[in-house]
Structure 1
Amino acid sequence: PNPITAAPAMAVPSKLLKPVSLTKVASRYLIHQDSLPKLPVPELRQTCQRYLAVLEPLVSDEELEHTRTLVADFMVPGGVGERLQKGLERRARKMDNWLSDWWLQSAYLEFRMPVVVYSSPGVVLPRAEFQDRQGQMRYAAKLIAGVLDFKTKIDNGTLPVEYMVGKPLCMNQYYQILSSCRIPGPKRDMVVNHSLGKAPPTHVTVVHNYQFFVLDVYNSDGTPLTVDQIYMQLEKIWNSSLQTNKEPIGILTSQHRNTWGKAYANLIKDKTNKESVRAIQKSIFIVCLDAPMPRASDEMYRSRVAVQMLHGGGSRWNSGNRWFDKTLQFIIGEDGSCGLIYEHAPAEGPPIMSLVDHVVEYTKKSEMVRSPMIPLPMPQKLRFNITPETKKDIEKAKQNMNILVQDLEMKVIVFSHFGKNVPKSYKMSPDAFIQIALQLAYFRMYHVCCSTYESASLRMFRLGRTDTIRSTSMDSLRFAQAMDDPTKTKVALLQKAVNAHRVYTDMAIRGQAIDRHLLGLKLQAIEDLTSMPEIFMDTSYAVALHYSLSTSQVSAKTDCVMCYGPVVPDGYGVCYNSMQEHINFSVSAFNSCAETNAAKLARGLEEALLDMRALLEQTPKAKL
């Protein structure tokens, strides 16, 4: 869904924006939530048949035949599949959403790789028009004020409900992105949201030179600070954090989750440390004031900013200037590079981009001159006592972060030849058009197709998160095979491939895709303590879940792009924002894999898009 952006607020005295009590909001929010349908449990036979169709382009005939036998056994009347299906249906009747808790646990909180690169997406914003510290502070102050303005809409329930294909969407994720934080555990993490307590937080955390500060952003009467007041407070923070010889305590959050879980337990044994960590976790969001990164050519600039947003550039640069567990961190470099990184457990991209659209518009507004200035207390610096053990943990985290930084290849491109306008002029879905171009680019590189993940929003349903759009189909494979064969007629195959993708997308957003249903059946088997059904132990299932292409369309009104790492060692992470007349892409891969090359796939994607347009231009529209 296209994130909505609220119309820019007129300059009004800030006391009119006083947050309203939560009870008033809750009723309005709950009325909307209760009116949303529950996520359905698809029919077992339908999912099994669609699963076999998904496997057809991915596995050999022999493997497919073997899987067909397993699926037939699974579906036998009165058999294991039917029993698990009934269990799922019972769960669906009892719960608001049969999937959301399981998904949060299995996809995020039990995932033990670092959140950096492997899970948390970054967002590159348009380059800001400043080149110095004053500009950096001024922009940061406006950005903070913009987020607080959006927070007021969340607090008093004036966020417009979003719609997709005419249906209202679940707005729950908007209530999860501020004042929340992930907390590491030895084997499983948790997410804590502080905005729903009796005394919601009134501060943001500001990090500069690896030092953390509590910045109160509300006056005692509940009104937010003005841009000028925030600016003056940021100046105080900057001036009292000039020494750079501090331990980068934040880099601990970049570790493997079990490692960080142990280090965390050690760290918070100390009372001062525990209080400092708690202040960071409770804050509304974090603002990272970054040191400038090494200069890069204009062509390389966006790719370099993308990695700054994703991991901070390593221990020599800004990786210690973060707290990666925090749901929302805005990053503002002294050189005008701006963006954010978010911890993925509480929310998907669209609510984040909606907030981004609002904030970017807000920073463009001319400021009101306000006086008189009331002197404000000095922001509180958070203290940490570093034991030899924590010092050792920090050194290890630095080493691991630097290895990860060296390993990630990131390519951000602006495809300037066309945007949504061209596919739309041929009555084709722009998203489907881009996905088929990606299939073509991958096929040209490897001469096979691969399991491809595109996230589909399930927000038409109460507490809905995502399901998988399977972009690889027999239709996409036939088109990719035919494209470079001069004997084949290709336009009809392109149309079929685009249409197959559109049909699968429609099925996914209506809760009828296969991936979350199969996951649910598998988790139901674990919960019932029965032996694992053979279809989940089958090679075909492993192939289906090995996403060499992990992709996402994240639409925003702002000319930005989201980026993230691959989800498998030999795969790619591809994210795109298609604007009217251009498309922003990010492509990532790991250097440690000899077979992958992000720059090459990005070039191949550009060629595929141009070749597909040329193909359409050669065919009279009447024949399309």
Structure 2
Amino acid sequence: MAEAHQAVAFQFTVTPEGVDFQLSREALKQIYLSGLSSWKKRFIRLKNSILTGVYPGTPLGWLAVVAATVGSMWFRVDVSMGLIVRIRERLPCGCYWSLRSRTLLSAVLFSTGVWMSGVLLWRQTLKLLLSYHGWMFEPHGKTSNNTKIWAATVKVLSGRKPMLYSLQTSLPKLPVPKVEATIQRYLDSVHHLMDAERYARMEALAREFQKQTAPRLQKYLILKSWWATNYVSDWWEEYIYLRGRGPIMVNSNYYIMDFLYARPTPLQAARAGNAVHSILLYRRKLDREEFMPVMALGVVPMCSYQMERMFNTTRIPGKEADSLLHLSDSRHLAVFHKGRFYKVWLYHAGKLLSPCDLELQFQRILDDPSTPQPGEERLAALTAGDRLQWAEARSRYFSRGKNRVALDCVERAAFFLALDEDAHGYVPEEEDSLSTFAKSLLHGRCYDRWFDKSFTLVVYSNGKLGSNAEHSWADAPIMGHLWEFMLATDQFQLGYCSSGHCQGEPNPALPPPQRLQWDIPEECRLVIDTSYSVAKALSDDVDFHCFCFVDFGKGRIKKCRTSPDAFIQIALQLAHFRDKGCFCLTYEASMTRLFREGRTETVRSCTREATTFVRSMADPDVAPSECLQQFREAAEKHQLLYRLAMTGAGIDRHLFCLYVVSRYLGVDSPFLAQVLSEPWRLSTSQTPQQQIKMFDLEANPDHTSSGGGFGPVANDGYGVSYIIAGEDLITFHISSKHSSPETDSKRFGKNICQAMLDIAALFGTLPSKTAN
């Protein structure tokens, strides 16, 4: 085979005359170029770590301080006020050290100390400024002069071109809220959802916890906040994600979709080539820290630490808890097609493969007529089933031999690529086309995605694509950052020729993709079948409805002088009440990346004000003007809660960490046990967009993103994701379970549409319609 010949650097033969060596120049050249590329990458990382470590200082700035200090000594001006002389006196004396040499070294040491002190002072000043969050609570469009001065100062201190991780050490730590404030906010969030008797019991538990148990737990939590970078993130990753023993497919992983309307090419291999090359360009920029941090309002930096594990990362199953395997680099890709696994090298002669070369490699896989090996086709179902069963099977059947080699190839790949046999995408004439597209990305056939990889890129036979992402290593906005770059680079920078193929001419001499070899025994195949059965039952139970709301978008909502997110969240409350006839705890994800290593916080969107508004909409005796006033109050309350969550004053992460401390100490708390057992029957999230503004969305409306979604959190509840794309479009992704008689995703979607229209009618922007 060609790849076998490429792998041999030399051959030797033992003869009576001695040993005859035959060197392969091409193989040695490849080894040299590969090593050279690796050392270049190490040097770049070392250089970036130095530049990031001293930011906003620069080596040039250090040199200027040294030059100024030495220059002042030349003119007999002692800017150190005697410190240089004191440093010189403490340097070791020797025959090789002249007085001038020791004086020069003392000046360099003094200059370095002054320079580092300036850097630390600069950073501490910026951290103090970033700890101010009053700007978030000012009315929209009414920025105070103090905030303007603060923003200008932050912008100056942040520097002109910070690298991705340059401002990490300047971000403040997530504060630990006061127990009294957290408990009071919790009681306010559930008072209107409980009857009087139940609320009185919960209030008694809360007050008892606040007086007796909480002070001790809070002390430990404060101690952790002093010691750890973030008092929530490590426990959140471990206990919410990695210790879960159920399937991560549907329950944890989420998906992201392609452009809604545009289809750059109908050729599967070509789209995969451009997409993979774009993603690898992103990885290179990530390794070199060439991205600027995402800035809130273009001024306030957000934490970037989650990006570190985007590539070369796999979730490894364990018996009690999973772990994350992250490599500093990976030079190959794992590919799945028609039940077969392949290894595709991403570099040749030390250079990244071009899109047309990648297209050639993927086309070779598509044209391969071979069949799956016994047990190979549904092997990935192990990653879709129960974690304990997968951990035991991995230890028993994949710890040695060719199975170990093949599994290492998959787990150590940069990411996973699935060349799907089906065709999916949005077809306006077909009502369920977007829903089937979403279900395919969420779970596929339960064995054609490697759910443990940081993400699986899925490319369909008609050229459309999407992604399924594992959740423990990062949250959706991080994947969204990569996704926006990939889509924009694919369409607007790389492009395709008129025939739909990638630009350029491929290299036919490239070694073909390597087919992975497995030796899966019969007993392992039974385990695979069991995992597949569990995953299949779970996927079949998912009721998904994805649709585009085109009556209006954020443009018209903003004319109503309200937040688009608050508008949609209150509409969801109205829709849920009409759908089920009751209210429920509602989870809305909010980010806490204004703090170092921040991830998410919960906004409890079902507020007292929102329920009052919903009840008034159901009462024909309440005038529209009164309903409108109640809506404005509900929107203001929602915005307040969202801002509190973003600024570290949320409820749920604090209570979660108090619960973890109580378990470590062996302390039973009926209050915390009750709080953490309450189900989120309505779980919601907004998909961010335009984090990287690489093209004008208004000038290219066909390239609107479809967003992404996730599975239902509660067995009798709904999961709702939405993306406010452009001025006149909102896409909703709704999930629930067929097994629940209380839910119906399509019915809930109709109620959402009606609720949106009815609220808009209150502002006089649309004619009122009768709710279903």
Question: What's the TM-score once normalised by structure 1's chain length?
Answer: 0.90
- 1:149-171 CA-to-partner distances (Å, cap 9, x unmatched) read 11111011111211225421011
Alignment-derived partner of residue 414 in structure 1: 548
From 228, 241, 244, give the equivalent of 2:356.
228
Q: 2:474 aligns with which of 347, 351, 355?
A: 347
Give the aligned partner of residue 509 of structure 2: 375
Asked if residue 362 in structure 1 is aligned to residue 362 in structure 2, the reply is no
Which segments of 5 or more consecutive residues in structure 1 lack a partner in the other structure? 1-14, 620-624
User: Contact 1:270/1:385 (CA < 8 Å) preserved in 2?
Assistant: no
**C-alpha separation between the residues in 1 aligned to 2:197 and 2:437?**
46
- Residue 656 of structure 2 contacts residue 676 of structure 2 at CA under 8 Å; is this kept in 1? no
Partner of 2:760, secondary structure, is: helix
Q: Secondary structure at the match of 1:292?
A: coil
Give the equivalent residue in structure 2 for 1:24: 47
In the alignment, structure 1 residue 152 sits paired with structure 2 residue 284 = yes
Give how far 1:349 is off.
Answer: 0.7
Residue in 2 that maps onto 1:249: 379
Q: d(CA) in 2 for partners of 1:180 and 1:472?
A: 37
Report if aligned partners of 1:408, 1:589 keep a CA contact under 8 Å in 2: yes
- Could you say what secondary structure the match of 2:683 adopts? strand
CA distance in 2, matches of 1:241, 1:95: 54
Structure 1, 247-256 or 516-525: larger mean CA deviation: 247-256
Which residue in 2 is equivalent to 1:172? 305
Query: 1:369 & 1:591 partners in 2: Cα distance?
Result: 46
Q: Is the 8 A contact 1:182 1:325 kept in 2?
A: yes
1:568 to 714, 732, 737: 714
Q: Is the 8 A contact 1:216 1:379 kept in 2?
A: yes
Which amino acid in the other structure matches residue 402 of structure 1? K
Change (3 A) 1:459 1:157: same
CA shift digits 1:572-619 (9 cap, x unpaired): 110000112110110000001111111111110010000000011179
* Residue equivalent to 1:507: 644
Contact in 2 for aligned 1:22/1:156 (Cα 8 Å): yes
Q: How far apart are 1:414 and its partner, in Å?
A: 0.2
Offset from partner CA, 1:331-352 (integer Å, 9 cap, x none): 0110334211000000111111
Tell me, yes or no, if structure 1 residue 136 matches structure 2 residue 271: no
Give the TM-score normalised by structure 2.
0.73
Q: Name whichever structure is richer in helix by fraction.
A: 2
Once residues 156 and 130 of structure 1 are traced to their aligned partners in structure 2, the CA distance between those partners, rounded to angstroms, is 29
* Residue 402 (structure 1) shift: 2.3
SS across alignment from 1:378: coil
1:542 corresponding residue in structure 2: 677
Task: Single out whichever of 408-417 and 371-380 deviates more from structure 2.
Answer: 371-380
Task: Quote the RMSD (CA, aligned, Å).
Answer: 2.0
C-alpha distance in structure 1 between counterparts of 2:504 and 2:734, whole Å: 45
Flag the structure with more relative contact order, 1 or 2, with Cα contacts below 8 A and sequence separation at least 6: 1
1:108-127 Cα offsets, whole Å, 9 max, x none, are: 00112211111100112126
Provide structure 2 residue ranges, at least 5 long, that are not aligned to the other structure: 1-36, 53-163, 497-501, 691-703, 767-772
**Who is 1:4 aligned against?**
none
Please tell me whether Structure 1 or Structure 2 has the larger radius of gyration of its CA atoms.
2
After superposition, the Cα gap between the structure-2 partners of 1:357 and 1:160, relative to the gap in structure 1 and judged at 3 Å, is same
CA contact (8 A) 1:305 1:337 kept: no
Work out whether residues 554 and 728 of structure 2, in 8 Å CA contact, stay in contact via their aligned partners in 1. Answer: yes
The equivalent of 1:278 in structure 2 is 408
Contact 1:124–1:302 (CA under 8 A) maintained in structure 2: no
Gap change, CA 1:470 and 1:374, over 3 Å in 2:
same
Q: Identify the match of residue 207 of structure 2 among 72, 80, 84.
A: 72
Mapped partners of 1:179, 1:618: distance in 2: 50
Task: Give the match's secondary structure for 2:481.
Answer: helix
| Alpha-carbon distance in structure 1 between the residues aligned to 2:263 and 2:234 | 43
How far apart are the structure 1 equivalents of 2:364 and 2:569? Answer: 48
Match of 1:532 in 2: 668
Note closer, same or farther for the CA distance 1:536–1:369 as it changes in structure 2 (3 Å cut). closer
Q: Show the 5 A alignment for 1:110-129.
A: 110-126=243-259, 129=263
Q: CA deviation at 1:553?
A: 0.2
1:97 to 201, 217, 230: 230
Distance 1:464 1:238, change over 3 A: same
The separation in 2 between residues aligned to 1:576 and 1:249, in whole angstroms, is 33
For residue 486 of structure 1, report the CA deviation from its aligned partner: 2.1
Q: Could you tell me whether the CA contact under 8 Å between 1:210 and 1:250 is conserved in 2?
A: no
Distance (Å, rounded) in 1 between the aligned partners of 2:382 and 2:460:
21
Partner Cα separation in structure 2 for residue 382 and residue 618 of structure 1 = 60
Q: For 1:494-522, what per-residue CA distance to the aligned partner results, in whole angstroms no more than 9, with x for missing partners?
A: 00111111000000000110100001111
Cα deviation digits, residues 288-307 of structure 1 (max 9, x gap): 00011599862111100101
3-state SS of 1:537 partner: helix
Alpha-carbon separation, structure 2, partners of 1:266 and 1:128: 46
- Size of the aligned set, in residue pairs, is 585
> Is the Cα–Cα contact under 8 Å of residues 57 and 472 in structure 1 kept in the other structure?
no
Aligned counterpart for 1:210 among listed residues 316, 339, 350: 339
Q: CA deviation at 1:401?
A: 2.5
Superposed counterparts of 1:468-507, under 5 Å: 468-488=602-622, 489-507=626-644
Work out whether residues 211 and 321 of structure 1, in 8 Å CA contact, stay in contact via their aligned partners in 2.
no
Task: Give the 3 Å change call, closer, same or farther, for CA 217–369 of structure 1 in structure 2.
Answer: same
C-alpha deviation, 1:471, in angstroms: 0.4
Give the superposition deviation at 1:433.
Answer: 0.7
The answer on whether the counterparts of 2:330 and 2:412 sit within 8 Å (CA) in structure 1 is yes
Residue identity matched to 1:210: G
State how far apart, in whole Å, the 2-side matches of 1:372 and 1:333 are. Answer: 22
How many Å separate the matches in 2 of 1:551 and 1:616? 25
Moved more, 557-566 or 363-372: 363-372
Whole-angstrom CA distance in 2 between matches of 1:103 and 1:445 = 32
1:21 CA drift (Å):
2.3
Give deviations 1:527-551, integer Å, cap 9, x for gaps: 223x21221233x6533xx100111
Determine if contact 2:424/2:436 at 8 Å carries over to the other structure. Answer: no
Alignment partner, residue 581 of structure 1: 728
Conservation of the 8 A alpha-carbon contact between 1:292 and 1:333: yes
- The partner residue of 2:653 within 497, 503, 516 is 516
Measured after TM superposition, the shift of residue 372 of structure 1 is 7.8
Paired with 2:408 and 2:685, the residues of 1 have a C-alpha distance of 33
Amino acid at match of 1:266: R
User: Which among 410, 414, 417 is matched to residue 287 of structure 1?
Assistant: 417
Q: Find out whether 1:263 has 2:393 as its counterpart.
A: yes
Matching residue's letter, 1:226: S
**CA contact 1:186–1:257 (8 Å) conserved in 2:** yes
Q: How many Å apart are 1:373 and its aligned residue?
A: 3.1
> What is the aligned counterpart of 2:759 among 599, 612, 615?
612
% identical aligned pairs: 29
The CA deviation at 1:191 is: 0.9
Shift of 1:131: 8.2
CA distance in 2 between counterparts of 1:521 and 1:541 reads 11
Q: Name the CA distance, whole Å, in 1 between partners of 2:450 and 2:371.
A: 19
- Tell me how far apart the structure 1 counterparts of residues 366 and 262 of structure 2 sit (CA, whole Å): 19
Contact 2:257 2:705 in 1 (8 A): no
Distance in 1 between residues matched to 2:676 and 2:317, nearest whole Å: 30
Q: Distance in 2 between matches of 1:241 and 1:186?
A: 38
Distance 2:685 2:165 in 1: 30
Amino acid at match of 2:631: L
Cα shift readout 1:160-189 (whole Å, capped 9, x = no counterpart): 211225421011111111110101111211
Provide the C-alpha distance between the structure 2 equivalents of 1:374 and 1:541, rounded to a whole number of angstroms.
59
Measured in 1, the distance between the counterparts of 2:184 and 2:563 equals 26
User: Deviation of residue 24 (structure 1)?
Assistant: 2.2
For the structure 1 residues 304 and 244, does the alpha-carbon distance in structure 2 shift closer, same or farther, using more than 3 Å as the test? farther
The 3 A distance-change label for structure 1 pair 442 and 22 is same
Taking a change above 3 Å as real, the CA distance of residues 190 and 291 of structure 1, as seen in their structure-2 partners, is same
The residue type equivalent to 1:184 in the other structure is P
